[in-house]
Structures are given as C-alpha cells and as structure tokens.
Structure 1
Amino acid sequence: MNLNSLSRRRWLQSAAAGTLAVAVGSTKNRSFAADGSPEVVPIGSRRELFVDDELIQSLNDVNLVLHRPRDEGQVLSFDEPWEGGFCGYATVIRDGDRLRLYYRGLGVAGQDGNRSETTCYAESTDGVTWTKPDLGLFEVKGTRQNNVVLSDAAPVTHNFSPMLDTRPGVRQEERYKALGGTVKSGLVAWVSADGTRWRRLQDAPVIPSDQVPFPHFFDSQNLAFWSAAEQQYVCFFRVFQDKIRRIARSVSDDFVHWSPPVVMGYRHRGDQAPIEHLYTNQTHPYFRAPHLYVSIAARFMPRRQVLTDDQARAIDVNPRYFKDTSDAILMTARPGRDYYNRTFLSSFVRPGIGARNWVSRTNYPALNVVQTGPTEMSVYLNQDYAQPTAHLRRYSMRLDGFASAQADYHGGELITKPLTFAGSRLAINFATSAAGDIRVEIQDASGQPIPGFTLAESREQIGNEIDRIVTWNSGPDVSPLAGRPVRLRFAMKDADLFAMQFTDAASSG
C-alpha cells in the first residue's frame, strides 16, 4: 500500500488499527541474534540522533535527510604578523563558560614542521565574538605581545591538536593534552593545566613512526579524546593507503602506549562507500550524545582545478594553492568500530560564492562542534586559504540538527529495531509545519501495539522544539515498559525528527 495514495484520514484510521502496510528494509541493514530473532539494542537513557540507520528497522515514505549548516559569517581574521594565509588545523574546545580556539600560525608556505610554524590561541564566551589575548609567552616576529601558546617546538606546531581530558581522576596539571608531529618525529604528547602553558609529556613520541606500517602518515591534524563509551583514549590520525588519504584509529589506556593502528572503512547504508581523499577527519564525541562520534571531515579533490590563472591572480592566492578544491562532509562512527557511517555522500558544507572559496585546502573544518546558544550549536571552518583574507568562519545548526528522519505532506512512518530503555518519559527533538504532526506508538518486540501506547491513543505532536515530551491519552509515563524490548513507531506528516531520548525528568535538558 502506498501512503501517497491514501487520504490523511484513511491513513490514520488504518494506522490506528495496525493494518498499514510497511516496507521492511533489506536484511543487510538489520542485526540478528544467534537464534535468528532481531537483536535488541539497549539504549538506556542515551540521546539517539537520526544520522544513520543504527536504530531503524524500516522506513516507509520517510527519508534520512542531511541538514546543511547556516553560514553566520566571519568571526576571526588571521591578520597578525605571526598568523597569515596558511593558518589552519583549528580546534575549538568548550571549557565551562569559555570557548578556546587553537590554530596554526603561518604566513608563508614551507615544509611541514618548519620553525616558522606556531600555535595560536583565541577565546570567546559566546562563540561569535573572539579575542586574541596578549599572553606574553613567546617572542615571535620581534614581539611578546601576541596570542602564541607554543613556538620553537617544530615539528609539533605543524598540526598541534589539543583536547580537554574528561577522564575521571585526571591530574590537574594534565587536564589538557595535545598531539602533534610529523612522520619524522612521530606523534608527540604535550600537557597543560590551563590550556595556554604547555610542556612535553615525555621525550619519546607516544606513537613512534616505526609503529605505523604505511608509506606516509601524520601530515595532517591528528587528534585524540577520552571516550566515556569505550573507557579509553581514542586517536584518529592521517595515513596514506594506495596513495589515498585515509584515517587510522588507535586506542590507549594511558595516552602513552597506543595499540597498532587500524584503517577505518566507510559504509553507505549497508554498502561500501566511495573512498575519497579525506584531509582531516575531526572525529569527536558529540557533546549531547557522547556514544556517537561525529566527523566533519575535509574532503580533498586533488587536481580538480576550478579557477583560471587570471582569477587566481585577482584574489592574490599563492600560485601553488589553487589547483585543487575541497569541502566538508559529515560522517559518524560508533565506539569500537573500524568504519564510519557515510550515510550522506553529498557535502555537508559546500564552498561559498566567489573565487576565494574554490582554492586548495580551504573550507577545512575545525575540530569539535560546540553549543553557542540555547537551541544552537556551531562548527567553524578555515576559509580563504593561502590568501591575504584568510579567516575563520562560523556555521550554525539547531541542537542535534545534523540530519533528520523526514516525511513530506503525504505522510510516512519510521519503525525502530527492538530496543530497551531506562526512564519514564520519551522526549523528541522535532519540527513540523502548521499542517504536520508526529505521533508515536510503542510496540512489543514482535511489532504488536501495546495497549495504552497505540497510535490511536497517541496525541499529536505539533510544533518546533528541541525537547518535547511525548504523551498518550493516559499521559507521558512510559516507566512500566522500561527494560522491556519494545519498538517505536513514528507516524509523521510534513515533519522532521532529529533525535529522541528516554529520560526520568519532565524535560530531558
């Protein structure tokens, strides 16, 4: 039965009666237990985003849709004498009410890891207005009045990438950690108590070059974080395989001893995804759902030249840096897995209008998505690379708004895999039109509606909210079903469903 051929009334009547036909997805996208029954996914009280098919059993006239961030404009110019057109490899970290930004300072192209490279710092309280404090830590270009936090430390300043260590019990003097280095040095670890004064953790690299079995590696931003989901440190770094820029994963219990690297694969809705050059990976735990690793990676298209020589001269781009193009793509990964979900193959952030956006190594995303408003989060991109106008730009999204399950005006539905949850309320992040709505049915593991939670008893959810508690005629309490395998059936019309979460609170926050 095609939902597009039904009137809204007939669709709701048949859905409430449990007779609506559902197109079941192919078995290659589904997980099964040893006895052949569908595997039950324990989600507890985790927030789950609809960025992949991890929880989805079937879709009928509902699609997973990528939501591109909104360009909010330039927020920081790389215009100091120790900065310049080759600033890059940015990292943004939220530490309490302060946002910290780290990036390479470099005005003239040179060999990776040369002594001219520094690590610069800026900070913000809102993510919109950024300041460059005079730190007085290093003399660069004849002055100590600068925002440099690391200098004379080549080659780690080529790609110095800090993290805020959230491991329970971490020593105060090592609250901040960072990795940097090239194939010649290996990856070297640094630590800091305040994020501005850094010291080397040990003389030897923590990931020596002779432990990486690839022809070339480390020549990009290499990052690490503490994974609460895995209870260990995870590192993602650049390697080359078959002459293509790839991503390798390694893990550690102590940040010093790391496992042999494993090259990450790519999957697109159950199939192998195209292998493209990914210059930076920017993988990090999503701050509202740390079990979900989000990667806003720089896709590099070598020798895909857009500008003519005249156009390049007009924007004063370095003549070596307009023969390629790049943009940003979105991937996700789950803890412990050796592949990314490339649910969406299209770009996440397209190059903007104008020649400046179509040069080599521009549009490279900074590491980490951070919250910048009550309902907003932001990602930052380096733009105008190798040009006098080089700068950092902000792009905004709604919270959880990377992607959504979306139904059009004719309506559709999504059914989850069997899952178990903890909590007494179901909250959703959603948006509808004035004519649209979302209703939720809770089924048992076999797909039979549970009395009290059927679609007929579900109240319409209409509006645009980050955190709406779903209700039925009997109210919002779902605690009698906690710990029991159930399926969720979302009946949607002209609506987007971004995320869901079971919670004990009246609002999931």
Structure 2
Amino acid sequence: MDPTQKQLLCDDALVADKRGFELMLNPALRAETPALQPEMPWEQASVSWPSVVCNEGGEHQMWYRADPGDGNGSLLCYATSRDGISWERPELGVVEFQGNKDNNIVARHLQGGVFVDSHDAPERRYKFIGEGQTEWGITSYYGGGARFRYFKEDLPTWNYLGVVGAHSPDGIRWTEYDEPVMPWYTDTQNVAFWDDRLQRYVAYVRWNEHLRVEDGKQVGSFDYRAIGRAEAKDFSAFPAPVKVHEPDFSRVEEEDQAGGGLYNTGAMKYPYAENVYLIFPSAYHHTSDTLDVHLATSRDGVDFTRWYEPFARLGTAGRFDARGLYVGPGMIAAGDEVYSYYAGVPRSHDDVETQAPGAIGRLRMRRDGFVAQDAGAEEGRLTTVPFQMPGGRLEVDMDASARGWLQVEILDATGHALWGYARAESDRLMFNDLAQTASWRGEPDLSALRGRKVRLRFSGQFARLYGFRFSGA
C-alpha cells in the first residue's frame, strides 16, 4: 500500500477492525438526456457499445458501434467532447458511406472496445479488441441449453465470430491484426487494457458456461453467461480465458439468471486510486428478459465482490433505456464526478421484431464514491491495517452532509494512540468533501511521524467514509 496514492475503502481489504461502519453501495445516476442518439443515416438502426478515453484538459474521445440497418453490417464511429456531456461527430474522410466520406466512421465490421496503450509504440498507441468478420470462428454444435431457445426450428450449429484486434496511431486510422488475438468466441463488448501493476495486457470476454473449445469447435450446452479473463505480454496473442465471475444461483436475486447470466463488463483498473478494479456487468434476468447494471470491485482484477442490487437501474417506461443497459469501457473525470457511458435499449433482450433504436446514455457518479463505509446513528469506529507514515497531510474523502461528523486518530502498529494524535486532540471533520484535511488541535502537518508504522482509526456518526490519502509528503 502506497498511502500517498488514493486508498479507497470500497471493501474491507484495508480494514483491520470496525464496529458501526457498514459497506454501502452508492448507485449511479442516469443523465436525463442521451449522450448520443441515432441522428445520421449510418446510425438509423442503433448506436451502442461506447468506449471512452478521458483527456483531461483536452478533447475526450468516444468510439461507438453504429448500425445503418442496411444489412451490410455495423460500423465503428468516432466522437469528441470537451465536457463529456455534449458530443460532436467530426467529418473524418476515412470510410465511404453511400458514396460520401464526410462522416465520422473509422472502420467497417469492427465492434468492441478501445483503449489507449501507453506501453506500446506511438504508431500503436490505440488498441481495439472486439468481434469482426473473419473466417476464423467457433461453431457451436447443438447440445441443448439456453442458446438455442431463440430458434423455432432445429438448429445443428451456431457460428460465433472470433475475438479480433486492431491498432492505430490516432484512434481514427486502424490496422487489423492478421489473426484473431484470442482463440475464443465472442458475442458481447470485449474489453482490454494494459495493467501497470501486472505489466501485462488483460482482457475480459464472454464465457458461456458448459461450452468448451475443442479443435477449433465449440461443443457442449449453453446454460448461462459468465465473465472470462485472460492476460498476455503480447496484445496480439492472448491465451484462452479463465472464468473469473458468474451468477450466484444460491441467492434469490440471481435465481432468474439461468439462461441469462452476466453480460459485458466495462472492466477497468480504476485510474484515480491504487489497486482498485471495477466491472459493471449487465445482469440478464431471464424471467423479465431485461438487463440492469451491477457493480463488482476487486484488488487484483480476478477475485471480484459484486453487489446484488442494481448499480444503474432501468429507465422509466418510454425512455431509450427502459429495458436494458450495457456499460462500455472507459471513464471521464469531470470535477468531483466521473462519467461512464452505456448502451440503452427500449426493447427486451429477445424481442428481435420491434424496431426501436436505443441510444448511448451517461452515468454520473461521485468521484471515488462507488462504495462507502457508512456510519449511522450508532457511532462507528474503523481501524486500518498498518502502513508506513509518509508525512505530509492526511486528506479524507467523506460525506457527512449537514448532520454527521468524523474524527481521525493515529495509532502505533499495536493499536495505541500516539501522543498528540488521540481522539481528544482530533478536530472534527464535517460536511461533504473529496479531500478534507485532518488536523489535531489545528495542526495538520504530520512530518514528525514520517517513517513510523501507524494505523488510522476513524470514528464517526451519520457519515460516509470513502477513502484517504497523504499529500505533500
């Protein structure tokens, strides 16, 4: 643990002991209006599958899937924004559509996720992972299960596309890899990124339970969707994935995911705190044939703890997102908030007859505020694991609103309060602040404690504690 980086208390990994503090999910807020909706001729059937890259101080970037509805496949399109709210479609002159290149299309038949790769050479700065038209694919031989409920007639095989990749110097001009980047099937928005902790590329893809790949063929049944993960030194050569997360059918909240399951992930290594991984799977509830968004957190990108209540709920009747939400990769920082983007659909999952194009929506979240350690009417105490004090000043991310408060003690490694930093000397922290400076009898400077092994003990009432960091060390 590096205490000079933001440490989120979104789980109990950094907690040695607590009483009166309980983990609490902070659901996202849906923006009232879409970020993008079908407006151009090449978008008439739908816009979906957004990926965003945050460029603080510059133009944010979005790639998304557009379907013109002409039977010639989908398109990868590009948009920019200064604020993450209003998006523009630049005329790029790259791909011809209906005899004209005055459009924002960057590729045909590529649909998936885009990320910036700071590890690779500048000519391959942008990476794409997804599904594309390729002769390589996986044939699923009928073995029963949910996949084949879509077809009224007997269907001996089902052909999936393969997982393909591409690279670009600017996110506009793309070069596809000659071969698929993973020996696997796909039918969702794949996600990949360079993990600076592992020094490897990591990819999150779809996993169909009870299907397996043998000699280039997918055999078995298909009972529900889960999440697979793979990692590689070479982006163009991922191995087959390993299942890392799936529905918990022992819980009443998950009982109706048989035949459904967990769709795409929007997976990321959260950029504004140390060693926090997030996924936003769409929970496909088979009985209602709709999908809302869940949140799961992890410290290593493998073992995830998921909340079983919606992180983003369906929109109200008549909205573009009334029947399904699918979060895409990437996140944009906007002051004390962060934005994620999702594909919203107004029709149920299996309703392929209704012509109702969806749109791309925006989720608003408190920066670093996905999950809180929450203290209510009973005064709570929370003690961290020990760490080496870096000095500087302690900044506390908290929301006590108008009623609550927090105090911070500094303890030695054995749990005894250090002289001058006990609760009696701790000044109360109040209100709502992402970085409120703690002090003891008015003094915030902790340079005298630099190098000591310490713990923090938070006490509070009617307050949400999100995290902490030491600045100015």
Tell me what 2:304 maps to. 340
Counterparts of 1:464 and 1:434, CA distance in 2: 8
Deviation at 1:472, TM superposition (A): 1.1
For residue 267 of structure 1, report the CA deviation from its aligned partner. Answer: 11
* Counterpart AA for 1:162: V
Distance 1:260 1:83 in 2: 33
Q: Distance in 2 between matches of 1:339 and 1:108?
A: 40
Residue of structure 1 in register with 2:118 after alignment: 166
Alignment length (residue pairs): 419
- In the alignment, the residues of structure 1 paired with residue 95 and residue 435 of structure 2 have an alpha-carbon distance, to the nearest angstrom, of 47
Q: What's the counterpart of residue 18 of structure 1?
A: none
In structure 1, distance between residues paired with 2:456 and 2:254: 32
Offset from partner CA, 1:323-369 (integer Å, 9 cap, x none): x100111111223x532121x22110111211546765x21112122
Residue 122 in 1 paired to residue 83 in 2? no
Cα deviation, residue 85, structure 1: 4.1
Match of 2:285 in 1: 301
Per-residue deviation, 1:429: 1.2
Paired residue type of 1:191: H
Alignment of 1:463-478 (within 5 A): 463-473=431-441, 475-478=443-446
1:325 pairs with one of 263, 284, 290: 290
Identity %: 30
Deviates more, 1:239-248 or 1:116-125: 239-248
Q: How does 1:366-445 map to 2 (within 5 A)?
A: 366-372=328-334, 374-385=335-346, 387-388=355-356, 390-445=358-413
* Matched residue, 1:227: 195
Please tell me the residue identity of whatever aligns with 2:299: R
Question: For residue 125 of structure 2, what is the aligned residue in structure 1?
Answer: 175
Given candidates 175, 188, 203, the residue that maps to 1:199 is 175
TM-score, scaled to structure 1: 0.76
Q: C-alpha separation between the residues in 1 aligned to 2:38 and 2:326?
A: 15
Aligned partner of 2:213 in structure 1 is: none
Q: Is the 8 A contact 1:238 1:246 kept in 2?
A: yes
Q: What's the offset of the Cα at 1:456?
A: 1.1
**1:426/1:502 contact within 8 Å kept:** yes
Deviation at 1:282, TM superposition (A): 0.9
CA contact (8 A) 2:48 2:344 kept: no
Question: 1:423, CA displacement in angstroms?
Answer: 4.0
Mean Cα deviation higher: 232-241 or 380-389: 380-389
Q: Deviations over 1:86-132 (max 9, x none)?
A: 4322111113411111111114497xxxx411111111010111111
Where do residues 2-401 of structure 1 align in structure 2 (5 Å cutoff)?
42-73=1-32, 74-96=34-56, 97-108=58-69, 115-151=72-108, 154=109, 157=110, 159-167=111-119, 170-181=120-131, 183-184=137-138, 186-200=162-176, 202-209=177-184, 217-242=185-210, 243-265=223-245, 277-289=261-273, 291-302=275-286, 304-305=287-288, 324-335=289-300, 338-342=302-306, 344-356=307-319, 362-372=324-334, 374-385=335-346, 387-388=355-356, 390-401=358-369
CA contact (8 A) 2:46 2:359 kept: no
Q: Which amino acid in the other structure matches residue 406 of structure 1?
A: D
Root-mean-square deviation (CA), in Å?
2.5
Letter of the structure 2 residue corresponding to residue 402 of structure 1: F
Structure 1 counterpart of 2:217: none
Change (3 A) 1:109 1:444: farther
Describe the superposition over 1:412-469 as per-residue Cα deviations: whole angstroms up to 9, x where unpaired.
Answer: 1212223335342211111213332110011122221121211111111112211111
Q: What residue is the counterpart of 2:459 in the other structure?
A: 491
Which blocks of at least 5 consecutive residues in structure 1 are unaligned? 1-41, 210-216, 306-323
**Is 1:446–2:414 an aligned residue pair?**
yes
- When normalised by structure 2's length, the TM-score is 0.82
Judge which range, 416-425 or 446-455, deviates more: 416-425
Amino acid at match of 2:11: D
CA deviations on 1:141-176 (whole Å, 9 max, x unpaired) are 44322211101xx3xx2x331110122xx3111110
Going from structure 1 to structure 2, the CA distance change for 1:107 and 1:267 (only over 3 Å counts) comes to closer
**Residues of 1 paired with 2:165 and 2:297: CA distance?**
26
Assess if the C-alpha contact under 8 Å between 1:266 and 1:339 holds in 2.
Answer: no
Q: Deviations over 1:450-507 (max 9, x none)?
A: 21211111111112211111111272233444444322111011111112112226xx
Question: Compared with structure 1, are the counterparts of its residues 478 and 359 closer, same or farther at alpha carbon in structure 2 (3 Å cutoff)?
Answer: same
Give the letter for the 1:299 counterpart. Answer: A
Whole-angstrom distance in 2 between the partners of 1:483 and 1:246: 45
Corresponding residue SS for 1:68: coil
